[in-house]
Amino acid sequence: MNKPINIFEYGSLAIQHLSQMALDYYASGAWDEITLQDNRTAYERYKLRPRMLVNVSQRNLTTKILGQHIKMPILIAPMAFQCLAHPEGELATARVAADLGTIMVLSTMSTKNLEDVALAPNVPKNFWFQLYVHRDRGLTRALVERAEAAGYQALCLTVDAPILGRRERDRRNKFTLPSDMELANLTSMANLEIPQTEDESGLFAYVANQLDPALTWGDIDWLQSLTSLPIVVKGILREDDAIRAVEHGAKGIIVSNHGGRQLDGAIATLDALPEVVAAVGHQVDVLMDGGIRRGTDILKALALGAKAVLIGRPVLWGLAVDGEAGAGHLLELLRDELEVAMALSGCAKIEDIDSSLVRYI
């Protein structure tokens, strides 16, 4: 079989390798999936304005996020239940991140436990741990302590899920995990699992029962008291929330609408990015996710002020098609596309990318 040559081909092939329940879980958005689609089409509203006659014979994609040096401004977003795509799941993704010299953000709801993931590669690692705050604050504290002890470099606090958005594909499928998979970070601590339900997504029921809908800005202060790790706040779409996050000690912000999976009709992340960068980009690193499928998409995000982007669903397509090799190849395709787009825009290094490269049409 010839290797796919772009992310869209990986997406088409992944359909053949995933169960309907897994495919719908990965691909779906909330309600009418308007925000899911808008995350993608937002990139079409921004046009590139390339510079000419610039020496781009030597190109460099390296950058630094929270003081961590990485080889490309492309991180792997936190994604739950990666073993639905491939038996190696998060272990394979961790090896890819290490091989490519970038950061992987491990989900609280991973199907491999955080200690095993941290030990997966045999090279220095830049892993972050994504945190959902549970009603059981003792459980949350224990997760933070485990992540710090295992060598994770930051906590990524998701703040846009006080309750779960209504994902009708999951509801129709009564989504739950197969019997041979588990919430690997949680079953050993509190025997938590995704329930089976008669008329609802099991994940919806889990979030309603376990995650804390009373989370406030003060809880960031509480988390700061538990750990020396920097806290990155994920799920910000407004300048006032960005300012509050920084005031409460956040060292980074991820502009995100949860891949269109929470509030349908929410602003596309690329459209929200400039406002957040203008508010706090001079104080903390601002990253973004959502809808990225080409290197030119990444270039536009960087031009609008993102220090780096996070890739979610496409990594799962790569895993589904060819495991670790597929996920690695997919990210290499994105990296190479970004390098070409930079060269054709007159940018030899990441620092050459600025807002003059894009225009909103």
Contact 128, 105 (CB under 8 A): yes
Classify residue 178: in a domain, yes or no: yes
Query: What does the block give as tokens for 336?
Result: 């190479």
**pLDDT range class, residue 198, cuts 50, 70, 90:** confident
Q: Does the annotation list 32 as a binding residue?
A: no
Among residues 103, 225, 89, the alpha carbon closest in space to that of 152 is found at 103
Alpha-carbon span 146 to 127, nearest angstrom: 13
Packing angle of the helix pair 239-247, 269-280 (nearest 10 deg) = 50
**pLDDT range class, residue 1, cuts 50, 70, 90:** low
Q: Which residue has the tokens 């049409």?
A: 361
Classify residue 320: in a domain, yes or no: yes
Q: Does the annotation list 132 as a binding residue?
A: yes
Task: Give the residue numbers marked as catalytic.
Answer: 258
Q: Span 165-172, mean pLDDT?
A: 95
What pLDDT, on the 0 to 100 scale, is given for residue 219?
A: 96
Structural domain range at position 345: 7-360
Indicate the number of domains in the chain.
1
Q: Does the annotation list 258 as a binding residue?
A: yes
Among residues 283, 114, 151, the alpha carbon closest in space to that of 228 is found at 151
Could you tell me which residues are beta bridge partners of residue 155?
A: 129, 231
User: Residue 26 pLDDT > 70, yes or no?
Assistant: yes
Q: Does the annotation list 158 as a binding residue?
A: yes
Classify residue 2: in a domain, yes or no: no
Classify residue 256: in a domain, yes or no: yes
Query: What does the block give as tokens for 210?
Result: 């376990």
Amino acid at 54: V
Contacts of 311 (CB under 8 A, 6+ apart): 74, 75, 76, 77, 289, 292, 331, 334
Q: Span 140-152, mean pLDDT?
A: 97
User: Residue 361 pLDDT > 70, yes or no?
Assistant: yes
- 47-90 pLDDT, tens digit per residue, is 999 999 999 999 999 999 999 999 999 999 999 999 999 999 99
User: Residue 207 pLDDT > 90, yes or no?
Assistant: no
User: Residue 123 pLDDT > 70, yes or no?
Assistant: no
Could you tell me which residues are beta bridge partners of residue 308?
A: 287
- 300-343 pLDDT, tens digit per residue, is 999 999 999 999 999 999 999 999 999 999 999 999 999 999 99
Contacts of 120 (CB under 8 A, 6+ apart): 91, 94, 95, 98
CATH code of the domain covering residue 213: 3.20.20.70
Q: Does the annotation list 17 as a binding residue?
A: no
Classify residue 1: in a domain, yes or no: no
Average pLDDT, the chain: 96
The pairing of strands 46-48 and 358-360 is: antiparallel
Q: Does the annotation list 167 as a binding residue?
A: yes
Alpha-carbon span 314 to 92, nearest angstrom: 14
